Structure 1
Amino acid sequence: MELNTKLAILERMIGIYDEFLSQFDLACEKYCAHCCSANVTLTTLEGYRIIDHLETNNLIGQLETIARLAHPDRFIPKVSINRMADICARDGDLPEEPMDPEAGPCPVLTDDACPLYAVRPFGCRCMVSARNCATTGFADMDPFILTVNDVFLQHLEHIDAQGYTGNFADVMGFLADPENRQNYSSGRLGGAPTGLVANQPVFVLMIPPEHRKRIQPLLDQIRSIQPG
């Protein structure tokens, strides 16, 4: 699948997800940055979309900021979400993936606002709460939203099955290299470099029995997206 086709599907999926979220009463608003963490992950497809936005808007200097402010204790995944679902479905053992909640804010966060908000990773977009996290200390998220989030994350990885997943800073650092961007856009990536993990297609969707009927219309929408 060509890169432009993948990017078009990504945009369609974001539209579907935003429409889904619109039915919920959420506390999230501008300058509410409690979830803007250095631990956010994304796929190379999302990273490429961000870099395209940076180049279009003369903001490519943000890549230097990301590299300079990348937290040394940021979360670095050992498996992708589809690999995790695969392991769980086979009753395998998941690797330990320590995460430091005190790793600090996202390296691009400026005065509690995100300069990349329009093209933020899905990992940011799906982190929502019914109550202000400053008062609760955690995100109050409907269990069905959690299931939908997993399904969308799995499909996003499926679209980018020949790419990588990693921490925001590491994916952006990888794509900051023009040669890596060219190899990615041409479909010539090899094994995942240190700090990133290889994506894979969907093997099994992580949908609990109580949500299977409710989520079917969203699955139908996702599966109806046609290339081109």
Structure 2
Amino acid sequence: MLTDMHLRRRKILAQIYKLHDDFVQELDIACKKYCSHCCTRNVIITTLEADEIVDSLILKKQDHLFEKLETEVARARFIPKTTTNMLAVLYAHGKDIPEEKSDVSWGSCPFLIDNKCPIYEKRPFGCRCFVSTADCSKKGYAQINPFVVTVNNLFLQFIEHIDSQGYSGNFTDVILYTKAKRDNFPKNSALSEIFRYKLIKNHPITFLPIPAEDKIRIEPIFQALQNIRF
């Protein structure tokens, strides 16, 4: 059963999504329906986002998607070594950034069906924020405005911040971990489950690495995020 605090965090997440959706609406992007070139199995999500997705799948009786994830856990995918907020801390202190391996050739998102997303309305921020000014299928890569990258990183930091008691990880791992929690795996096995699903602890915001050239332009968005209440 979800606590009142957790439900409030989910309401905040919905407001964060809405704020970013409004930002994207003002952009000139090539993304459209059935455009799935960027829908890889390398998306990172938080446990807070996974709660929304898992609840939706259970409500809509889409359990077959959980089974699909189970059949693909052996496949290569991006496993993060650190979170967005921890990367910011490392950057602030001049520390080395961990080397991480990610390859689009590892394949598409396990949920993708005929170039359509069955959880589109509940898709995580890692999917929502990936927008390109050029058709990725023609270019072979995305073209993203540097300011959009700055905005996306700010949103990623805020999402992790409100889920600072939770975890982050690959989409596949976090969804399966969250579903396992719904199925009430023994409480004394929780820590082993976290390691099993390769999750990493989230952290609150302590530093915002915003480029100097973006600080004035991003201020209204930053204030809007700070003004979100539950």
Q: Which has the higher helix share?
A: 2
Structure 1 residues 208 and 56: CA distance shift in structure 2, 3 A: same
Return the alpha-carbon distance in structure 1 between the equivalents of residues 157 and 70 of structure 2.
27
* Identical-residue share of aligned pairs (%): 39
Aligned position for 1:59: 62
Stretches of structure 1 that go unaligned for 5 or more consecutive residues are none
Aligned position for 1:35: 38
Structure 1 residues 12 and 103: CA distance shift in structure 2, 3 A: same
Residues matched between the structures, number? 223
Q: Deviations over 1:56-113 (max 9, x none)?
A: 2111331111221346210000000101111110111121111122110000000011
SS where residue 154 of structure 1 aligns? helix
1:182 Cα deviation (Å)?
A: 8.6
* Equivalent of residue 119 in structure 1, options 122, 138, 159: 122
TM-score normalised according to structure 1 size: 0.92
Aligned position for 1:220: 223
Runs of 4+ in structure 1 over 3 Å off: 178-184, 189-192
Aligned position for 1:207: 210
Q: Confirm or deny: 8 A CA contact 1:51 1:60 kept in the other structure.
A: no
SS where residue 107 of structure 2 aligns? coil
RMSD: 1.9
1:114 Cα deviation (Å)?
A: 0.5
Partner letter of residue 53 of structure 1?
S
Structure 1 residues 68 and 19: CA distance shift in structure 2, 3 A: same
Q: Deviations over 1:143-193 (max 9, x none)?
A: 111000000000000000010000000001111213577999xxxx76952
Stretches of structure 2 that go unaligned for 5 or more consecutive residues are none
1:61-100 equivalences under 5 Å are: 61-70=64-73, 72-100=75-103
Q: Confirm or deny: 8 A CA contact 2:147 2:214 kept in the other structure.
A: yes
Structure 1 residues 164 and 122: CA distance shift in structure 2, 3 A: same
1:10 Cα deviation (Å)?
A: 0.2
TM-score normalised according to structure 2 size: 0.92
Range with bigger deviation, 147-156 or 135-144: 135-144
